[in-house]
């Protein structure tokens, strides 16, 4: 089937918003998300002859978008990052690796079932994600939003498995602390 210019215009109108929401949750800012969505539509237009309608347009666009996000993180992984000293930014443990006083995990109440609470949670998790160090954010996004396996993340970001586990552990701790401070209000 030969696609026409008006087909891509319809796709942009119909899917740009949900692709932007999807991408924004996985990147650090609006400009990056907008660029990746635009690249998604450009790629779809350039490869329109490959679209055989075996999948829905939405599925095809989301697949392209997901690959654009992964490519984005792959390119960023090649650029140098400043890492903090091992103990310098650790908010949760003392120098003997014991929990800091008042920083241990708390039990969360089970009250997050309403759609408005889910929307608020998504907003706060995005806020908390942006507070992570750059490499922690990359690992968190690839693991929990893109659902990639550990080995794939390590290869993509060119990090060791032990480095991955340190990054993901610290990211989870910081996300949890941020959620407890900004949303859960125990």
93 DSSP β-pair partners: 99
**Domain coordinates in residue numbering, the chain:** 5-77, 84-186
Q: Report the run of H or E that residue 40 belongs to, with start and end.
A: helix 30-46
- Residue 34 has a CB neighbour count (10 Å cut-off) of 15
So what's the pLDDT on residue 89?
A: 46
pLDDT in tens, 65-105: 999 998 898 888 776 554 444 444 456 566 655 556 666 55
So what's the pLDDT on residue 105?
A: 55
In whole angstroms, give the CA distance from residue 156 to residue 173: 23
What is the percentage of the chain residues whose pLDDT exceeds 90?
28
Average pLDDT of the chain to the nearest whole number: 79
pLDDT in tens, 135-145: 999 999 999 88
Contact 73, 157 (CB under 8 A): yes
Phi, psi of 36 (to 5 degrees): -65, -35
Mean pLDDT of 49-61: 83
Tracing tokens 């490959």 back to the chain, one arrives at 50
Residue predicted with more confidence, 58 or 2: 58
So what's the pLDDT on residue 126?
A: 85
Mean pLDDT of 119-141: 86
Return the CATH number of the domain spanning residue range 84-186: 1.10.10.10
pTM, entire model: 0.56
Class of domain 5-77: mainly alpha
């Amino acid at each position: 089937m030969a696609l026409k210019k008006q087909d891509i215009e319809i796709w942009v109108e119909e899917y740009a918003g949900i692709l932007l929401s999807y991408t924004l949750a996985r990147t650090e800012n609006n400009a990056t998300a907008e660029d990746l969505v635009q690249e998604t539509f450009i790629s779809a237009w350039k490869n329109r002859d490959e679209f055989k309608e075996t999948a829905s347009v939405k599925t095809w666009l989301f697949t392209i978008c997901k690959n654009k996000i992964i490519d984005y993180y792959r390119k960023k992984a090649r650029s140098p990052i400043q890492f903090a000293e091992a103990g310098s930014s650790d908010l949760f443990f003392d120098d003997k690796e014991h929990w800091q006083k008042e920083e241990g995990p708390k039990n969360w109440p089970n009250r997050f079932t309403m759609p408005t609470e889910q929307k608020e949670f998504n907003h706060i998790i995005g806020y908390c994600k942006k507070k992570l160090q750059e490499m922690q954010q990359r690992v968190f996004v690839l693991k929990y939003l893109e659902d990639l396996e550990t080995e794939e993340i390590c290869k993509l970001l060119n990090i060791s498995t032990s480095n991955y586990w340190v990054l993901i552990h610290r990211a989870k701790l910081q996300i949890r602390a941020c959620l407890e401070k900004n949303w859960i209000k125990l």
